[in-house]
A and B are shown apart, each in its own frame.
Chain A
């Protein structure tokens, strides 16, 4: 079946540090891949997505590249801010009629 594995948190960083959150997946075919962000006490917001191999999704300084050969979709940001403190979820969806499969989430804490 489909599955998404994320690195466990919490990840604690200083402001302006480089952030990487690893995400690997298992799925047949060519799923669409997503990163969601959840700020404290709120719902999930779509951060970025990629729908085919070698696509790069980007938003708010975050980037992730769909790597079919390594079945990965790692999230990166070059210089984090305190406001980036949140929980980040990686997810995949094989087809429009299928449900999203979520990873377990990675909590990121950015200290000033």
Chain B
């Protein structure tokens, strides 16, 4: 079955460390997205990529970095510059073209905790 896989499900980071969250999809979707969700809050867009080797900042990109070297993969690095990284991170993908705008497919999320 096609889908989008995030790993790990839980991640613990020491202060000052960089960590990378994995997101892989086998849906042949063009676009991929990273969101952050804080407890009881909505979704905030960190970065998105509409094609390979290209990505754009979302609303809260500071302290994060991404790459899009392959269509299937869109890893997110949470750097030490991100002052409050503890949150739930969601990856999503979608078709980027076509007449009818479809929705996104989401992964199951990675919960990052700074210890």
Contacts and interface: CB of A to CB of B under 8 A. Distances in A.
Physical interaction between A and B: yes
Contacts, number: 66
A96 B98 contact: yes
Given A42-B108, A43-B108, A43-B109, A93 B90 contact: no
A69 to B, nearest CB: 21
Interface residues of A, number: 27
Nearest to A91: B103
Contacts of A36: 103, 106
Interface residue SS majority, chain A = loop
Interface in A39-59: 41-46, 49, 51
Nearest to B50: A97
B53 interface: no
Contact of A43 (B40, B97, B102, B106): B106
